[in-house]
Amino acid sequence: MHRTPKPRARQSEIPQNELLGERSEALDVGAVGAGRHNSFAIGVDRGRGRARVLTIERASIGRGEQVAVDLPLKKALLTGITGQDGAYLAEFLLAKGYEVHGIKRRSSSFNTDRIDHLYEDPHTQGRRLVLHYGDLTDAANLIRVIQTVRPDEIYNLGAQSHVAVSFETAEYTANADALGALRLLEAIRIIGLQSRTRFYQASTSEMFGKVQEAPQSETTPFYPRSPYGVAKLYAHWITVNYREAYGLFACSGILFNHESPIRGETFVSRKITRGLARIHAGLEQCLYLGNLDALRDWGHARDYVRAQWLMLQQPEPQDFVIATGEQHSVREFVERAGEHLGMNIVWSGSGIDEIGIDTRSQKVLVRVDPRYFRPTEVDTLLGDASKAHRVLGWKPELTFAQLVAEMVNEDMDHAERDAIIRRHGYRVPTRHE
Ligand code: NAP
Ligand code: GDD
């Protein structure tokens, strides 16, 4: 239930920066009156163009004046809260004072590793992280969760997000990634939350696919190259359509690749840092990769979730490209990660016979396995995020070198722990894909 916001003080008594803070807001008082128990005022919430009824204790506030109010906690609902971005965004929103609701899928084993540090026992009074079972393929479930939570902001981060896997599970990917977005948008309409709930869609640079120009910006034509890219393109355009057709505050963030130590282990960045760290710790011998020539614009997920939030705080809904504007190859990612582990990886041979040799140990550490090639590849991606710089004031804070270093360090910790366990005679599971 929403708490009625209480006026705290006159604007003149409140420092300007506090007025602009996330939890307090200036309202223009439109009318003042008295009920049986309280005086009240009707204020206009300028940020959202909505009227709010304020209960006031001091009847001295007059029409046309401004008051600052403590806002009730903002509520955000995240699909994909158990994924990389969901975990970083949940942490970010909790630090901003939000009540965060997340949709998690039923799984036969625990699937909340990335958010376990944020977990609050359901018996805790006033907890600010609440998980709901659900699935993007289940419209009835989404309607019920949204109706229960009545969120101020929805971040649709949930997806079958692996490009290579989307060639194997094309129909499911379309169902979850394309229709999932539609189901959420429809739920907002069905429940009548159009004027309350802001919607963020996790669009992707994969939509640029076979790129039509470089670098890619909000105006670059799309040419998706996988069932994942095609599904995301539907979600992107349906978000635009609902914004235009029904006036929803709905934005798409066209995010380029972003990674972190909690990146899924089968995306190439994490596969490299984890694989080389395990080789370094003596747990594995060789890392098998696909297309070493692919070029990506890799950023850090922590920077990118900040951009997601910023998009929903703007006066008007718009779409934004989020990228670093810097490009590296898979081969270069391997070299950088190796350097961080004291390896000097050089390349020899070509095509599927290319190998990466560590000149220090003289061992072959990297080989090519064609099973990681894709039927249609996205060869190169490079983003132009100048609109985000200009309008959102967003710039990435973490560099490529810092990203690689952080990922390698964390994977080295995991590998060393596994090596200790193995040295003591216990089995360490080896997980591959
Ligand atoms: P991720 O780590 O793969 O997380 C995906 C999340 O979606 C997980 O929580 C997953 O749940 C959930 N999910 C999958 N299928 C679902 C379904 N049918 N119903 C409900 N939830 C489902 O992805 P990410 O890297 O955090 O990316 C977040 C979003 O941004 C995704 O939509 C992705 O496509 C998009 N994106 C990512 C990047 C990037 O470089 N990371 C770039 C552009 C766009 P489980 O944990 O149970 O699997
Ligand atoms: N996964 C993987 N595994 N990719 C490899 C490998 C390998 O062994 N070897 C080479 N690659 C190449 C892929 O062919 C691709 O060109 C590049 O490395 C990056 O692959 P991924 O890390 O799997 O990411 P992605 O670019 O296909 O997709 C990611 O970024 C998109 C944004 O552009 C995902 O996070 C998508 O969800 C996201 O939308």
Question: Token digits for 24?
Answer: 């307090």
206 catalytic? Reply is: yes
Hey, which of 114, 157, 161 would you mutate to test ligand 1's pocket, going by the most ligand atoms within 8 Å of its Cβ?
Answer: 161
Q: In this structure, what DSSP letter does residue 24 have?
A: E
Residue 378 CA, closest ligand 2 atom number: 16
* Residue 85 beta carbon below 6 angstroms from any ligand 1 atom: yes
pLDDT at 54: 60
- Ligand 1 centroid to residue 103 C-alpha, Å: 12
pLDDT at 433: 73
Closest to 222 (Cα-Cα) out of 392, 293, 234: 234
pLDDT at 120: 87
* Residue 377 beta carbon below 6 angstroms from any ligand 2 atom: yes
pLDDT at 16: 36
Nearest CA to ligand 2 atom 15: 294
Q: Which of 228, 239, 273, 324 is catalytic?
A: 228
* Residue 396 beta carbon below 6 angstroms from any ligand 1 atom: no
Nearest CA to ligand 2 atom 9: 290
DSSP string, 199-216: EEEEEEGGGT-S-SSSSB
pLDDT at 430: 77
Angle at 245 between CA 392 and CA 239, to 5 degrees: 50
Phi then psi for 341, rounded to 5 degrees? -100, 10
User: What span, in angstroms and rounded, lies between the C-alpha atoms of 93 and 313?
Assistant: 13
Residues 6+ positions from 121 with CB-CB distance below 8 Å: 127
Strands (E), 109-195: 129-133, 153-156
The secondary structure element, H or E, covering residue 89 is helix 84-95
Question: Token digits for 399?
Answer: 């560099």
204 catalytic? Reply is: yes
Question: Token digits for 402?
Answer: 């810092």
98 catalytic? Reply is: no
Nearest CA to ligand 1 atom 27: 85
pLDDT per residue rounded down to tens, the chain (433 residues)? 333 344 444 443 433 333 333 445 566 677 666 665 556 666 665 544 455 666 555 456 677 777 666 556 899 999 999 999 999 999 999 999 999 999 999 999 999 999 999 998 888 888 999 999 999 999 999 999 999 999 999 999 999 999 999 999 999 999 999 999 999 999 999 999 999 999 999 999 999 999 999 999 999 999 999 999 999 999 999 999 999 999 999 999 999 999 999 999 999 999 999 999 999 999 999 999 999 999 999 999 999 999 999 999 999 999 999 999 999 999 999 999 999 999 999 999 999 999 999 999 999 999 999 999 999 999 999 999 999 999 999 999 999 999 999 999 999 999 999 999 999 999 988 777 7
Q: How far is CA 99 from CA 74, 95, 128, in A?
A: 6, 10, 4
Residues 6+ positions from 195 with CB-CB distance below 8 Å: 48, 50
Strands 287-289, 320-322: pairing is unpaired
* Residue 330 beta carbon below 6 angstroms from any ligand 2 atom: yes
* Residue 257 beta carbon below 6 angstroms from any ligand 1 atom: yes
* Residue 183 beta carbon below 6 angstroms from any ligand 2 atom: no
Q: In this structure, is the dihedral angle defined by the CA atoms of residues 244, 249, 254 and 257, taken in order, positive or negative? A: negative
Residue 136 CA, closest ligand 1 atom number: 19
Nearest CA to ligand 1 atom 41: 258
Structural contact between residues 356 and 334, judged by C-beta atoms closer than 8 angstroms: yes
Structural contact between residues 239 and 181, judged by C-beta atoms closer than 8 angstroms: yes
Q: Which of 79, 204, 220, 239 is catalytic?
A: 204
pLDDT at 6: 43
pLDDT at 272: 98
- Ligand 1 centroid to residue 269 C-alpha, Å: 16
Residue 260: strand, helix, or coil: coil
* Residue 137 beta carbon below 6 angstroms from any ligand 1 atom: yes
